[in-house]
Amino acid sequence: MTTELSPDSLTGLLERARQDYQDLAGRGLSLDLTRGKPAPEQLDLSEELLSLPGGRHTSADGTDVRNYGGLQGLVELREIFADVLQVPAEQLLALGNSSLELMHDCLVHALLSVVPGAESRWVDQERIAFLCPTPGYDRHFALCQRFGIDMIPVPMTPEGPDMDAVERLVAEDPAVKGIWCVPKYSNPDGVSYSDETVARLASMQAAAPDFRIFWDNAYAAHHLTDEPVEIADLLAACAEAGNADRVFVFGSTSKITAAGAGVAFFGSSPANLKWLLANNAKRSIGPDKINQLRHVMFLRDADGVRAHMERQRALLQPKFEAVARILESELGGTGLARWTDPKGGYFVTLEVPDGCAKEVVRRAADAGIVLTPAGATHPYGDDPRDATIRIAPSYPSLAELEQAMQGLTVCVRLVGYEQRAR
């Protein structure tokens, strides 16, 4: 990333960065780039949900959605999302409002009740570990910490996790019970898994008979270009490879309709579905089918989801373009930064020189620009290079985002040139 500079030009660049930072700090900003949340205008796209189901209270098969029951969720909603999530409707459950909650529950159930293929409950085993492709989603890592699951970082590549490392670790250590995967437009670096990565995940040898891939397809429909990325079908590939029970698929409409009032999905093999349904039956007498019915009425079919996501894209794409434009104009050619150019999803990863990320985040906060804490993208909050910063462009208005990005680039120049001058 470095560019050679003479001592004179470094002094000049540092002077200018200091001046720009002083101006920035004097502006009394209060801006937030931390949250991968939909903006209010995105939520407005689903406003109609609030007036649905408008007095209707039966599902396609005549079920009264107001009553208890229906642990699998409405079949007509599962049919709409079968394609998007690459899970046949009969192997897909439509449940509560949060896929993170389902991931939490799957971990708890696996700890407390034997998963198909396991010799014992995870809680009865001396040590449990998960592979964590890094950088990754901080809430996956938080779940591991919550339940005492060791985290083993595995580097991400442009094709997905480093599969040589994954295959080795999964084959040699029976304590490795799982891997977190965000296979499309990953959080935070926007990577989509290649067909080869999917094939290797499906067919690799696992020392643990109860090894599971937590396939968090949170951004399955969240494209930012005219060329939607398609990934290979892991559930089918696992079945073909004789590892039908290997994958838990998760997804939700949180960033399709309403982040706090969407519908979450779980897809897997018949044996895993039976296991989850039996466990779920102990904690709930059925999901919120009124919410599911209104999603069916609002989205209608898979084409309805695609059309809706085009409207989401129209709001999000200009924000991602602004991030790329400002990074290029302010930091391009400086040798101080690299950044991702995601084709979908919710995040941009900014890489600054080693040892600078925490300081950039601190200086930005002092100037009124809040960023996700440096390190959050790594297990235990520890980015060994201290180089990764996650940018979430969705929530602020375009004008606020532009201001925040300009300010962030000032902080990167300041911290980067200060480091070089030392």
Ligand X SMILES: Cc1ncc(COP(=O)(O)O)c(C=O)c1O
Euclidean distance between the first and final Cα of the chain, in Å?
Answer: 17
Class of residue 233 by CB neighbours under 10 A (exposed 0-12, middle 13-18, buried 19+): middle
| Angle 418-2-340 from CA coordinates, rounded to 5° | 100
- Is the previous residue joined to 133 through a cis bond, with omega within 30 degrees of 0? no
Q: Of the two residues 24 and 218, which places its CB atom closer to ligand X in the complex?
A: 218
Q: How far is the CB of 98 from ligand X (least distance, A)?
A: 3
Beta-strand pair 92-94/160-161? unpaired
94 vs 218 by CB, closer to ligand X:
218
Interaction between residue 36 and ligand X (CB under 6 A): yes
Minimum Å gap between C-beta 20 and ligand X is 32
Candidate residues 17, 74, 100, 374; the one interacting with ligand X per rule CB under 6 A: 100
Q: Is 221 in the site for ligand X (CB under 6 A)?
A: no
- Distance of alpha carbon 384 from its chain centroid, rounded? 21
Residue 25 has which token pair? Answer: 């700090």
Residue 403 found at the interface with ligand X (CB under 6 A): no
**Crossing angle of helices 163-172 and 195-203, rounded to 10°:** 10
CB of residue 21 to ligand X, shortest distance in Å: 31
- Which x/- pattern over 306-345 shows residues binding ligand X (rule: CB under 6 A)? ----------------------------------------
Sign of the dihedral defined by the CA atoms of residues 103, 137, 233, 162, in that order: negative
Instruction: State which of residues 216, 330, 351, 383 lies at the interface with ligand X (CB under 6 A).
Output: 216
- Least distance from ligand X to the Cβ atom of residue 240, Å: 26
Question: Smaller CB distance to ligand X: residue 252 or 403?
Answer: 252
CB of 383 to ligand X, least distance (A): 18
In b/e form, how buried is each residue of 152-178, taking b as 16+ CB within 10 angstroms?
bbbebbebbbbbebbbebbeebbbbbb
Measured from the CB of residue 76, what is the shortest distance to ligand X in angstroms? 20
Site string for ligand X, 249-268 (x = CB under 6 A): ---x-x----x----x----
Do 272 and 113 meet the contact criterion of CB atoms below 8 Å apart?
A: no
Nearest distance, CB of residue 351 and ligand X, angstroms: 19
Of positions 86, 187, 268, 340, contacts ligand X by CB under 6 A: 187
For ligand X, the closer of residues 255 and 289 by Cβ is 255
The answer to whether the CB of 165 falls within 8 A of the CB of 134 is no
Minimum distance from CB of 342 to ligand X (Å)? 12
Contact 404, 166 (CB under 8 A): no
CA-wise closest residue to 389 among 336, 343, 345, 344:
336
Coil, strand, or helix at residue 83? helix
151 exposure class (CB count in 10 Å sphere: 0-12, 13-18, 19+): buried
Binding pattern to ligand X, positions 60-99, x when CB under 6 A?
A: --------------------------------------xx
3-state secondary structure labels for all residues of 58-74: ECCCCCECCCCCCCCCC
Per CB under 6 A, the list member of 13, 218, 249, 364 interacting with ligand X is 218
Number of residues that bind ligand X (CB under 6 A): 13
What lies within 8 Å, CB to CB, of 393 at 6+ separation is 33, 316, 319, 320, 322, 323, 346, 348, 401
Does position 46 interact with ligand X (CB under 6 A)? The reply is no
Interaction between residue 118 and ligand X (CB under 6 A): no
Residue among 14 and 100 whose Cβ is closer to ligand X: 100
Among 21, 122, 130, 137, binds ligand X (CB under 6 A): 137
- Considering only residues 163 through 182, tell me which ones interact with ligand X, judged by CB under 6 A: 182
Q: Please report whether residue 415 would count as binding ligand X according to CB under 6 A.
A: no
Which positions touch ligand X (CB under 6 A)? 36, 98-100, 137, 182, 187, 216, 218, 252, 254, 259, 264
